[in-house]
Amino acid sequence: MNFTDLIQRFAAQAPGTDSFLKVKEGSLALVSSDSEHAAAYFLIYGFARSYVLLYEDQGIAPAFAETAKTQLLSYMNRLDEAFRSGTAQDLVAALNWIVLDYGRSGKIF
């Protein structure tokens, strides 16, 4: 599985801890298989892991779960665009944007 496949599968799934668990597992597998982008995958892994740890045993409102999914998907799509550009500058810019955006967000995961 590649990162684009992981994004498409996550986008097609219902929001909730099960879908975040699959992102967590998939992104961790990508850390090993695509070392060129390991830091980016690890960032996504951390977000997905946090969501699972925080909410796996809680009843989550559908709107909250959808908001979290939308936020993580935006980060994943931003990275995927940077990967396709093939430049280190675009990847660093995407990583910086994600970290800054997360810092300004409600930090739901």
54 is a domain residue: yes
pLDDT in tens, 85-101: 999 999 999 999 999 99
Span 35-86, pLDDT tens digits:
999 999 999 999 999 999 999 999 899 999 999 999 999 999 999 999 999 9
Is residue 35 domain-resident? Answer: yes
The parent domain of residue 79 ranges over 3-104
Is residue 109 one of the residues assigned to a domain?
no
Report the number of distinct structural domains present in the chain: 1
pTM to 2 decimal places: 0.95
CA–CA gap between residue 78 and residue 40 (Å, rounded): 11
Per-residue confidence band for 34, with pLDDT thresholds at 50, 70 and 90: very high
- Look at residue 42 and tell me if it is in a domain: yes
Distance CA 88, CA 93 (A): 8
Angle ∠(93,108,47) on CA atoms, nearest 5? 50
pLDDT given at position 13: 97
Instruction: Give me the pLDDT at residue 3, please.
Output: 98
Going by C-alpha positions, the residue among 13, 43, 14 that lies closest to residue 27 is 43
| DSSP assigned state of 99 | H
Q: Is the residue at 84 inside a domain?
A: yes
Query: What's CA 71's distance to the chain center, in Å?
Result: 8
